[in-house]
Structure 1
Amino acid sequence: MSDDRIILGAAAIPEPDKDWLAAVERLPIASVWQGGHVLPPSQTGEAITRLALMTAWTERVRVGTGVLPLPLYQPVVVAKQLADLDSRSGGRVSVGLGVGGEFRQEFEAVGVPLDERGARTDEAMEVLRLLWRGGPARHRGRFFRLDDVELRPVRPPGAGAPGMRPGGPPLLVSGRKRPAMRRAARLGDGWMPYLVSPDAYARSVRAIEEEAWEAGRDLAGFEWMMYLYCSIRRDGDRARDDVAGFLGSAYGDKPGAMLDRIAPAGTPEEVAARLQQYVDAGVRHFVIAPAAPADTLEVVTLAAREVLPRLSLPVRGGTP
Structure 2
Amino acid sequence: MAGDRITLGAAAIPEPDRDWLAAVERLPVDSVWQGGHVLPPGPTGEAVTRLALLTAWTERVRVGAAVLLLPLYQPVLVAKQLADLDSRSGGRVTVGVGVGGEFRHEFEAVGVPVGERGARTDEGMEILRKLWRGGPVGHHGRFHSFDGLELHPVRPPGKVAPAMRPGGPPLVVSGRKAPAMRRAARLGDGWMPYLVSPAAYARSVQAVQEEAHTIGRDLAGFEWMMYLYCSIRADGDRAREDVAGFLGSAYGDKPGAMLDRIAPAGTPEEVAARLQAYVDAGARHIVISPAAREDTLEIVRLAAEEVLPRLSVPAPVR
1:214 pairs with 2:220: no
Please give the alpha-carbon distance, in whole angstroms, between the structure 1 residues aligned to 2:152 and 2:263.
42
Root mean square deviation of aligned Cα: 1.1
1:247 pairs with 2:240: no
Amino acid at match of 1:282: G
**Are the counterparts in 1 of residues 12 and 33 from structure 2 also a CA contact under 8 Å?**
yes
Amino acid at match of 1:176: R
**Are the counterparts in 1 of residues 189 and 223 from structure 2 also a CA contact under 8 Å?**
yes
Please give the alpha-carbon distance, in whole angstroms, between the structure 1 residues aligned to 2:265 and 2:283.
18
Q: Unaligned regions of 5+ residues in structure 2, if any?
A: none
Please give the alpha-carbon distance, in whole angstroms, between the structure 2 residues aligned to 1:5 and 1:59.
23
**Are the counterparts in 1 of residues 153 and 162 from structure 2 also a CA contact under 8 Å?**
no
Please give the alpha-carbon distance, in whole angstroms, between the structure 2 residues aligned to 1:198 and 1:161.
43
User: What's the counterpart of residue 95 of structure 2?
Assistant: 95
Please give the alpha-carbon distance, in whole angstroms, between the structure 1 residues aligned to 2:229 and 2:253.
20
Instruction: Give CA-to-partner distance per residue, 1:87-146, whole Å, 9 cap, x none.
Output: 000000000010000100000000000000000000000000000000001000000111
Equivalent pairs, count = 318
**How much does 1:263 deviate?**
0.1
Greater alpha carbon shift after TM alignment, 117-126 vs 152-161: 152-161
**Structure 1 outlier segments of 4+, above 6 Å:** none
User: What's the counterpart of residue 157 of structure 1?
Assistant: 157
What TM-score do you get using the length of structure 1 for normalisation?
Answer: 0.98
Q: How does 1:288-303 map to 2 (within 5 A)?
A: 288-303=288-303
What TM-score do you get using the length of structure 2 for normalisation?
Answer: 0.98
Instruction: Give CA-to-partner distance per residue, 1:197-251, whole Å, 9 cap, x none.
Output: 0000000000000000011100000000000000000000000000000001145
1:144 pairs with 2:144: yes
User: What's the counterpart of residue 114 of structure 1?
Assistant: 114
Amino acid at match of 2:280: D
User: What's the counterpart of residue 277 of structure 1?
Assistant: 277
**Are the counterparts in 1 of residues 22 and 58 from structure 2 also a CA contact under 8 Å?**
yes
**Are the counterparts in 2 of residues 249 and 255 from structure 1 also a CA contact under 8 Å?**
no
**How much does 1:3 deviate?**
2.6
Please give the alpha-carbon distance, in whole angstroms, between the structure 2 residues aligned to 1:267 and 1:174.
28
Please give the alpha-carbon distance, in whole angstroms, between the structure 2 residues aligned to 1:184 and 1:240.
32
User: What's the counterpart of residue 21 of structure 2?
Assistant: 21
- Taking every aligned residue pair, what percent have the same amino acid on both sides? 81
**How much does 1:157 deviate?**
1.8
User: What's the counterpart of residue 71 of structure 1?
Assistant: 71
Please give the alpha-carbon distance, in whole angstroms, between the structure 1 residues aligned to 2:76 and 2:207.
31
Amino acid at match of 2:73: Y
Please give the alpha-carbon distance, in whole angstroms, between the structure 1 residues aligned to 2:79 and 2:5.
31
1:52 pairs with 2:52: yes
Amino acid at match of 1:192: M
- Could you say what secondary structure the match of 1:227 adopts? strand
**How much does 1:252 deviate?**
4.3
Amino acid at match of 2:168: G
User: What's the counterpart of residue 169 of structure 2?
Assistant: 169
Please give the alpha-carbon distance, in whole angstroms, between the structure 2 residues aligned to 1:317 and 1:99.
36
Q: Unaligned regions of 5+ residues in structure 1, if any?
A: none
Instruction: Give CA-to-partner distance per residue, 1:237-271, whole Å, 9 cap, x none.
Output: 00000000000114545520100000000000000
- Could you say what secondary structure the match of 2:224 adopts? strand
Pick closer, same or farther for the CA change 1:59–1:160 going to 2, 3 Å: farther
User: What's the counterpart of residue 193 of structure 1?
Assistant: 193
User: What's the counterpart of residue 84 of structure 2?
Assistant: 84
Pick closer, same or farther for the CA change 1:206–1:317 going to 2, 3 Å: closer
**How much does 1:156 deviate?**
0.8
User: What's the counterpart of residue 311 of structure 2?
Assistant: 311
